[in-house]
């Protein structure tokens, strides 16, 4: 399977990559797709996924080093474009015990824009430090 062929990817992200499910795009290039989470836990919550099907971070190999680096390098730029100028959180859940629900590697990026009350978001425990 090449990097952009997700015909064998059974996940919801595979369906998104195949154009079967609509999504709100944040960014796309030949290797990566970023889109808003359909169940956000914060005012801004988007995901970055590789177009290459990698089920979990534990399944990544040395061949994936450049792709993973690219994904993480995109995070600050995309976060800023989404209004997260004061900071943001990144999470990669890995495996069942790591809280992973969709078995296609993805990076959660979330936060709140300046001046937004954080009482009802996943960032509430960190509000005093933001």
Give catalytic residues, as residue numbers: 106
Strand pairing category for 32-36 and 89-91: unpaired
Per-residue CA distances from 105 to 64, 65, 86, 90, 120 (Å) = 12, 13, 26, 13, 27
* CA–CA–CA angle 5, 104, 40 (5° rounding): 120
Paired strand residues for 21: none
* CA–CA–CA angle 11, 15, 8 (5° rounding): 65
DSSP 115: T
Residue showing tokens 């943001």: 88
């Amino acid at each position: 399977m090449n990097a952009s062929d997700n015909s064998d990817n059974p996940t919801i992200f595979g369906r998104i990559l195949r154009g079967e499910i609509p999504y709100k795009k944040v960014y796309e290039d030949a290797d990566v797709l970023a889109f808003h989470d359909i169940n956000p836990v914060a005012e801004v919550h988007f995901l970055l996924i590789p177009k290459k099907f990698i089920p979990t971070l534990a399944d990544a190999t040395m061949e994936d080093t450049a792709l993973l680096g690219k994904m993480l390098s995109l995070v600050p730029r995309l976060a800023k474009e989404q209004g997260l100028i004061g900071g943001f959180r990144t999470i990669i859940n890995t495996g069942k015990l790591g809280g992973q629900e969709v078995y296609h590697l993805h990076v959660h990026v979330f936060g709140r824009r300046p001046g937004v009350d954080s009482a009802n978001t996943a960032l509430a425990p960190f509000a005093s430090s933001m």
